[in-house]
């Protein structure tokens, strides 16, 4: 073999080894499984279980305002929030870019729930109970926060879609 081919073989072998090691590190199991389901699939499944009659869809600004989260940090989000101040129904679905975001997102959802509970505490028992029963479900790269009359049903649909 000529020297050029030998050099190509050495470079190819080195690239192959580096690639295999890097993929092994990158794809190592971390916590719960990452879902490859598309955002449309998951959001469609979740929405099919939610009565959005008392909610309105939130945009980028509402995500920032209600949850202090930046839309560009996520691969997708779906937000529905109450049409009136006396409403407690709320839906937030997030597709994370990185599993490291799980903690900050969990804190943001808990903070939102705490704010809502504080505002209903003492005079709107039904809404307070709804917030209390709200479900925050972190499943790998997807996060669901649902405050509704049947949050468990929505969560079931969420998990089935992943």
Partner 1 sequence: MTLNSLVFMFLFLPVSYLLCRIVRGTAGNIILVLASIIFYAWGNPAHAVLLVLCVLLTYSGGLLIAGLKKDWADRAAMIALIVDAGILIAVLAVFKYTSAALPTGISFYTFSALSYLFDVYRDEEEAASNPLDLALYIMLFTKILSGPIVRYKDMKPQLHDHPVTTEASLAGLELFLTGLFKKVLLADVLGKGFAEISAGSLTVGTAWLGVLFYGLQLYFDFSGYSDMAIGLSKAFGFTVEKNFNYPYLSTSISDFWRRWHISLGMWFRNYVYIPLGGNRCSELMQVRNLAAVWILTGIWHGNTWNFVLWGIWHGAFVILEKFLLGKGKRQLPAVLGVVLTDLIALTGWIFFFTPSAGKAFGWFGALVGIGASGLWKAGMGLVLRNYLITLLIAVLACTPFLHNIHERFAFRGGIVRTMIAAAVYGVLFLFSIASILGSTYTTFLYAQF
Q: Which residues bind partner 1 (CB under 8 A)?
A: 1-2, 4-5, 8-9, 11-12, 14-16, 18-20, 22-23, 26-27, 29, 33-45, 47-48, 50, 52, 57-61, 63, 71-72, 75-79, 97-99, 140-141, 160-161
Smallest gap from Cβ 94 to partner 1, in A, equals 11
Smallest gap from Cβ 135 to partner 1, in A, equals 19
How far, in Å, CA of 8 to CA of 26, rounded? 26
How far, in Å, CA of 40 to CA of 29, rounded? 25
Which two tokens mark 36?
A: 């490859």
Q: Which positions ≥6 away from 123 have C-beta within 8 Å?
A: none
Smallest gap from Cβ 3 to partner 1, in A, equals 10
Closest CB to partner 1 among 5 and 84? 5
Closest CB to partner 1 among 37 and 124? 37
Closest CB to partner 1 among 127 and 141? 141
Which two tokens mark 159?
A: 């998990």
- Within 13 A of 113's CA, how many CA atoms are on the CB side? 21
Smallest gap from Cβ 132 to partner 1, in A, equals 26
The CA distances from residue 142 to 10, 69, 109, 145, in Å, are 42, 15, 13, 10
């Amino acid at each position: 073999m000529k020297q050029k081919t030998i050099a190509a073989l050495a470079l190819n072998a080195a690239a192959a080894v580096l690639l295999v090691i890097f993929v092994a590190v990158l794809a190592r199991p971390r916590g719960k499984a990452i879902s490859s389901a598309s955002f449309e699939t998951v959001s469609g499944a979740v929405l099919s279980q939610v009565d959005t009659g008392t909610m309105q869809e939130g945009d980028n600004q509402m995500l920032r305002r209600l949850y202090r989260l930046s839309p560009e940090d996520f691969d997708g989000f779906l937000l529905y929030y109450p049409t009136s101040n006396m409403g407690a129904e709320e839906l937030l679905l997030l597709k994370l870019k990185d599993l490291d975001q799980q903690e900050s997102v969990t804190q943001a959802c808990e903070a939102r729930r705490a704010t809502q509970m504080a505002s209903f505490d003492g005079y709107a028992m039904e809404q307070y109970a709804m917030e209390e029963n709200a479900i925050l479900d972190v499943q790998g790269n997807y996060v669901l926060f649902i405050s509704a009359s049947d949050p468990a049903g929505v969560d079931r649909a969420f998990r089935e879609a992943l």
